[in-house]
Amino acid sequence: MTNQRAEAFATLEGRLGYTFKNRRLLERALTHSSVAEGVQQPSKRIGDNERLEFLGDRVLGLLVADRLTSDFPEADEGQLSARLHALVDKNACARVGERLGVGQALRLSPGESKSGGRRKAGVIADAVEAILAAVYRDGGLDGARAMFDKAWAEEFASPPAPALTNPKSALQEWAQSRGRPLPTYQVVDRKGSDHAPTFVVEVTVVGCDPVRQSGRSRQEAEKAAAVALLKQEGVI
Protein backbone atom coordinates (compact mmCIF):
# COMPACT_ATOMS: atom_id res chain seq x y z
CA MET A 1 0.00 0.00 0.00
CA THR A 2 1.48 3.34 -1.07
CA ASN A 3 1.87 6.12 1.50
CA GLN A 4 -0.77 8.20 -0.28
CA ARG A 5 -3.28 5.38 -0.30
CA ALA A 6 -2.43 4.44 3.29
CA GLU A 7 -3.28 7.99 4.34
CA ALA A 8 -6.54 7.84 2.39
CA PHE A 9 -7.31 4.46 4.00
CA ALA A 10 -6.79 5.87 7.50
CA THR A 11 -8.79 9.01 6.70
CA LEU A 12 -11.67 6.92 5.38
CA GLU A 13 -11.74 4.77 8.51
CA GLY A 14 -11.92 7.94 10.60
CA ARG A 15 -14.77 9.36 8.54
CA LEU A 16 -16.70 6.12 8.85
CA GLY A 17 -16.72 6.58 12.61
CA TYR A 18 -15.94 2.89 12.96
CA THR A 19 -12.68 1.17 13.93
CA PHE A 20 -12.27 -2.26 12.39
CA LYS A 21 -11.19 -5.21 14.50
CA ASN A 22 -10.28 -6.94 11.24
CA ARG A 23 -8.95 -4.26 8.90
CA ARG A 24 -8.58 -6.82 6.12
CA LEU A 25 -12.33 -6.60 5.68
CA LEU A 26 -12.04 -2.92 4.82
CA GLU A 27 -9.13 -3.64 2.49
CA ARG A 28 -11.24 -6.26 0.73
CA ALA A 29 -14.15 -3.82 0.43
CA LEU A 30 -11.86 -1.33 -1.29
CA THR A 31 -10.37 -3.83 -3.77
CA HIS A 32 -11.81 -3.46 -7.26
CA SER A 33 -12.16 -6.54 -9.47
CA SER A 34 -9.66 -5.07 -11.94
CA VAL A 35 -6.83 -5.88 -9.50
CA ALA A 36 -7.21 -9.58 -10.29
CA GLU A 37 -7.04 -9.12 -14.07
CA GLY A 38 -4.44 -11.35 -15.66
CA VAL A 39 -4.01 -13.56 -12.58
CA GLN A 40 -4.54 -17.13 -13.77
CA GLN A 41 -3.46 -19.29 -10.83
CA PRO A 42 -6.27 -19.76 -8.27
CA SER A 43 -3.77 -19.68 -5.41
CA LYS A 44 -2.64 -16.20 -6.44
CA ARG A 45 -6.03 -14.68 -7.16
CA ILE A 46 -6.82 -11.55 -5.22
CA GLY A 47 -10.15 -11.28 -3.46
CA ASP A 48 -12.21 -8.33 -4.69
CA ASN A 49 -15.22 -6.52 -3.24
CA GLU A 50 -17.99 -7.98 -5.41
CA ARG A 51 -19.35 -10.44 -2.83
CA LEU A 52 -19.27 -7.78 -0.14
CA GLU A 53 -21.07 -5.42 -2.51
CA PHE A 54 -23.82 -8.03 -2.93
CA LEU A 55 -24.23 -8.29 0.84
CA GLY A 56 -23.97 -4.55 1.38
CA ASP A 57 -26.80 -3.88 -1.04
CA ARG A 58 -29.10 -6.00 1.13
CA VAL A 59 -27.87 -4.49 4.41
CA LEU A 60 -28.42 -1.01 3.02
CA GLY A 61 -31.96 -1.85 1.92
CA LEU A 62 -32.79 -3.14 5.40
CA LEU A 63 -31.35 -0.10 7.18
CA VAL A 64 -33.09 2.38 4.89
CA ALA A 65 -36.43 0.57 5.16
CA ASP A 66 -36.13 0.43 8.96
CA ARG A 67 -35.28 4.14 9.17
CA LEU A 68 -38.07 5.22 6.82
CA THR A 69 -40.78 3.23 8.59
CA SER A 70 -39.64 4.80 11.86
CA ASP A 71 -39.32 8.38 10.55
CA PHE A 72 -42.54 8.39 8.49
CA PRO A 73 -45.19 6.36 10.36
CA GLU A 74 -48.05 7.79 8.25
CA ALA A 75 -46.49 7.13 4.83
CA ASP A 76 -47.99 4.39 2.67
CA GLU A 77 -45.95 1.65 1.01
CA GLY A 78 -45.78 3.48 -2.31
CA GLN A 79 -44.32 6.60 -0.70
CA LEU A 80 -41.87 4.56 1.34
CA SER A 81 -40.80 2.59 -1.74
CA ALA A 82 -40.19 5.75 -3.73
CA ARG A 83 -38.03 7.27 -1.00
CA LEU A 84 -36.19 3.99 -0.47
CA HIS A 85 -35.26 3.76 -4.15
CA ALA A 86 -33.76 7.25 -4.00
CA LEU A 87 -31.67 6.45 -0.91
CA VAL A 88 -30.24 3.10 -2.04
CA ASP A 89 -29.56 3.76 -5.72
CA LYS A 90 -26.08 4.11 -7.19
CA ASN A 91 -26.29 7.91 -7.33
CA ALA A 92 -26.92 8.15 -3.59
CA CYS A 93 -24.17 5.64 -2.82
CA ALA A 94 -21.74 7.53 -5.07
CA ARG A 95 -22.50 10.82 -3.29
CA VAL A 96 -21.91 9.13 0.07
CA GLY A 97 -18.63 7.73 -1.24
CA GLU A 98 -17.48 11.14 -2.47
CA ARG A 99 -18.09 12.67 0.94
CA LEU A 100 -16.21 9.82 2.62
CA GLY A 101 -13.26 10.08 0.24
CA VAL A 102 -13.58 6.48 -0.95
CA GLY A 103 -11.99 7.12 -4.34
CA GLN A 104 -8.49 7.80 -3.04
CA ALA A 105 -8.57 4.72 -0.81
CA LEU A 106 -9.55 2.29 -3.57
CA ARG A 107 -7.25 -0.49 -4.68
CA LEU A 108 -7.35 -0.53 -8.48
CA SER A 109 -5.35 -1.99 -11.31
CA PRO A 110 -2.96 0.47 -12.98
CA GLY A 111 -5.19 0.51 -16.06
CA GLU A 112 -8.39 1.20 -14.12
CA SER A 113 -6.64 3.90 -12.14
CA LYS A 114 -5.34 5.59 -15.29
CA SER A 115 -8.82 5.52 -16.83
CA GLY A 116 -10.21 7.53 -13.92
CA GLY A 117 -11.55 4.68 -11.81
CA ARG A 118 -11.14 6.66 -8.60
CA ARG A 119 -13.68 9.17 -9.90
CA LYS A 120 -16.17 6.77 -11.50
CA ALA A 121 -19.52 6.96 -9.75
CA GLY A 122 -20.27 3.27 -10.32
CA VAL A 123 -16.93 2.11 -8.88
CA ILE A 124 -17.33 4.36 -5.84
CA ALA A 125 -20.95 3.33 -5.27
CA ASP A 126 -20.09 -0.37 -5.39
CA ALA A 127 -17.28 0.18 -2.89
CA VAL A 128 -19.62 2.02 -0.50
CA GLU A 129 -21.99 -0.96 -0.44
CA ALA A 130 -19.01 -3.27 0.11
CA ILE A 131 -17.76 -1.08 2.98
CA LEU A 132 -21.17 -1.23 4.66
CA ALA A 133 -21.06 -5.03 4.39
CA ALA A 134 -17.53 -5.07 5.81
CA VAL A 135 -18.70 -3.08 8.84
CA TYR A 136 -21.64 -5.45 9.19
CA ARG A 137 -19.30 -8.48 9.11
CA ASP A 138 -16.94 -6.87 11.61
CA GLY A 139 -19.37 -5.18 14.01
CA GLY A 140 -22.78 -6.66 13.37
CA LEU A 141 -25.96 -4.78 12.57
CA ASP A 142 -25.38 -2.20 15.31
CA GLY A 143 -22.01 -1.29 13.82
CA ALA A 144 -23.47 -1.08 10.33
CA ARG A 145 -26.35 1.08 11.54
CA ALA A 146 -23.97 3.50 13.28
CA MET A 147 -21.93 3.89 10.10
CA PHE A 148 -25.07 4.19 7.98
CA ASP A 149 -26.63 6.87 10.20
CA LYS A 150 -23.50 8.98 9.90
CA ALA A 151 -22.73 8.37 6.22
CA TRP A 152 -26.31 8.82 4.98
CA ALA A 153 -27.22 11.78 7.23
CA GLU A 154 -26.96 14.28 4.39
CA GLU A 155 -29.04 12.11 2.09
CA PHE A 156 -31.86 11.95 4.63
CA ALA A 157 -31.60 15.69 5.27
CA SER A 158 -32.14 16.49 1.57
CA PRO A 159 -35.80 16.97 0.58
CA PRO A 160 -37.11 14.25 -1.73
CA ALA A 161 -37.42 15.10 -5.38
CA PRO A 162 -40.96 16.09 -6.47
CA ALA A 163 -41.04 12.98 -8.64
CA LEU A 164 -40.73 10.87 -5.51
CA THR A 165 -43.50 12.74 -3.70
CA ASN A 166 -46.02 12.19 -6.51
CA PRO A 167 -44.43 9.80 -9.02
CA LYS A 168 -47.56 9.21 -11.12
CA SER A 169 -48.01 12.93 -11.76
CA ALA A 170 -44.29 13.30 -12.49
CA LEU A 171 -44.42 10.48 -15.03
CA GLN A 172 -47.51 11.96 -16.67
CA GLU A 173 -45.85 15.38 -16.96
CA TRP A 174 -42.67 13.84 -18.34
CA ALA A 175 -44.60 11.88 -20.99
CA GLN A 176 -46.63 14.93 -22.03
CA SER A 177 -43.51 17.10 -22.23
CA ARG A 178 -42.27 14.72 -24.92
CA GLY A 179 -45.54 14.68 -26.84
CA ARG A 180 -46.42 11.14 -25.81
CA PRO A 181 -49.81 9.76 -24.69
CA LEU A 182 -50.54 9.47 -21.00
CA PRO A 183 -49.02 6.48 -19.16
CA THR A 184 -51.25 3.42 -18.87
CA TYR A 185 -51.35 1.09 -15.87
CA GLN A 186 -52.52 -2.51 -15.95
CA VAL A 187 -52.77 -5.08 -13.16
CA VAL A 188 -50.99 -8.12 -14.58
CA ASP A 189 -51.08 -10.31 -11.49
CA ARG A 190 -52.64 -10.53 -8.04
CA LYS A 191 -51.09 -12.82 -5.47
CA GLY A 192 -51.77 -13.79 -1.88
CA SER A 193 -54.94 -14.08 0.13
CA ASP A 194 -57.93 -11.76 -0.06
CA HIS A 195 -57.02 -10.04 3.21
CA ALA A 196 -53.34 -9.60 2.29
CA PRO A 197 -53.07 -9.37 -1.52
CA THR A 198 -50.07 -8.30 -3.56
CA PHE A 199 -50.74 -6.50 -6.83
CA VAL A 200 -48.33 -6.52 -9.78
CA VAL A 201 -48.82 -3.54 -12.07
CA GLU A 202 -47.27 -2.82 -15.45
CA VAL A 203 -46.86 0.78 -16.55
CA THR A 204 -46.42 1.64 -20.21
CA VAL A 205 -45.31 4.85 -21.90
CA VAL A 206 -45.00 4.97 -25.67
CA GLY A 207 -41.35 4.73 -26.65
CA CYS A 208 -40.24 3.13 -23.35
CA ASP A 209 -39.85 -0.44 -22.19
CA PRO A 210 -42.77 -1.39 -19.89
CA VAL A 211 -41.97 -1.73 -16.19
CA ARG A 212 -43.60 -3.96 -13.59
CA GLN A 213 -43.67 -3.41 -9.84
CA SER A 214 -45.65 -4.84 -6.93
CA GLY A 215 -47.46 -3.39 -3.94
CA ARG A 216 -50.02 -4.27 -1.30
CA SER A 217 -52.61 -2.19 -3.11
CA ARG A 218 -53.11 -1.28 -6.73
CA GLN A 219 -52.27 2.36 -5.96
CA GLU A 220 -49.02 1.45 -4.23
CA ALA A 221 -47.99 -0.80 -7.10
CA GLU A 222 -48.76 1.95 -9.62
CA LYS A 223 -46.62 4.46 -7.68
CA ALA A 224 -43.74 2.00 -7.46
CA ALA A 225 -44.01 1.28 -11.20
CA ALA A 226 -44.00 5.01 -12.01
CA VAL A 227 -40.85 5.50 -9.93
CA ALA A 228 -39.17 2.55 -11.62
CA LEU A 229 -39.94 3.87 -15.10
CA LEU A 230 -38.73 7.37 -14.21
CA LYS A 231 -35.48 5.81 -12.95
CA GLN A 232 -35.20 3.61 -16.05
CA GLU A 233 -35.42 6.70 -18.28
CA GLY A 234 -32.92 8.65 -16.17
CA VAL A 235 -35.44 11.25 -15.00
CA ILE A 236 -34.62 10.65 -11.34
Catalytically active residues, by annotation: 57, 129
Residue 197: strand, helix, or coil: strand
Question: What phi, psi does 178 have (nearest 5°)?
Answer: -105, 15
Do residues 91 and 121 touch, judged by C-beta distance below 8 A? Answer: yes
Helix, strand, coil percentages (3-state) for the chain, rounded to 5, are 65, 10, 25
Show Cβ contacts of residue 146 under 8 Å, excluding neighbours closer than 6 positions: 17, 18, 139
Whole-number Å distance between alpha carbons of 224 and 236: 13
Closest CA to 196 of 217, 220, 219: 217
